[in-house]
Structure 1
Amino acid sequence: MKLTIFAASGGIGRHLLRQAVDAGHDVTAVVRDPARLSGEPEGVRIVRGDLGHPDPAPLADAVDGADAVLSGLGPRSMADSGVTSRGTRAIVTAMRARGVRRIVVVSAAPVSTVAAPGQRKPSPDPGEGPLVRYLLGPILKTVLRRHYVDLAVTEELLRDSDLDWTVVRPPRLTDRPLTGAYRTAYGRSVRGGLVVPRADVAHCMLRALEQPETIRQAVAVAT
Structure 2
Amino acid sequence: MKLTIFAATGGVGRLLLDQAVAAGHEVTAVARNPGAALPGAARVVTADLSTAPAATLGDAVAGADAVLSALGARSRAEAGIAWRGTRAIVQAMRATGTRRLVVVSAAPVGTVPSPDRPRPPRHDPGDGVFMRNLFAPLVKSVLREHYADLARMEDVLRASDLDWTVVRPPRLTDRPLTGTYREAYGRNVRAGWSIPRADVAHCLLRALERPETVGRTIGIAT
Determine if the alignment matches structure 1 residue 210 to structure 2 residue 209.
yes
Equivalence for 1:64: 62
Query: Within 5 Å, which residues of 2 pair with 1:183-198?
Result: 183-198=182-197
Unaligned runs of 5+ in 2: none
Determine if the alignment matches structure 1 residue 142 to structure 2 residue 119.
no
Query: Within 5 Å, which residues of 2 pair with 1:99-138?
Result: 99-117=97-115, 119-123=117-121, 124-138=123-137
Q: Deviations over 1:78-125 (max 9, x none)?
A: 111111001000000110110000000000000011120353322221
Q: How many residues align?
A: 221
Equivalence for 1:164: 163
Q: Secondary structure at the match of 2:138?
A: helix
CA distance in 2: counterparts of 1:177 and 1:98, whole angstroms: 36
Q: Secondary structure at the match of 1:34?
A: coil
Equivalence for 2:7: 7
Q: Secondary structure at the match of 1:176?
A: coil
Equivalence for 1:199: 198
Equivalence for 2:28: 28
Equivalence for 1:41: 39
Worse-superposed segment, 193-202 or 143-152: 143-152
Q: If the length of structure 1 is used for normalisation, what is the TM-score? A: 0.97
Identity of matched residues, %: 64
Equivalence for 2:218: 219
- Runs of 4+ deviating beyond 3 Å: none
Q: If the length of structure 2 is used for normalisation, what is the TM-score? A: 0.97
Determine if the alignment matches structure 1 residue 178 to structure 2 residue 177.
yes
Unaligned runs of 5+ in 1: none
CA distance in 2: counterparts of 1:81 and 1:58, whole angstroms: 23
Q: Deviations over 1:144-202 (max 9, x none)?
A: 11111111111011011000000000000000000001000000000000000000000
| Change over 3 Å in CA distance of 1:199–1:54 after alignment to 2 | closer
CA RMSD after TM alignment:
0.9
Q: Secondary structure at the match of 1:35?
A: coil
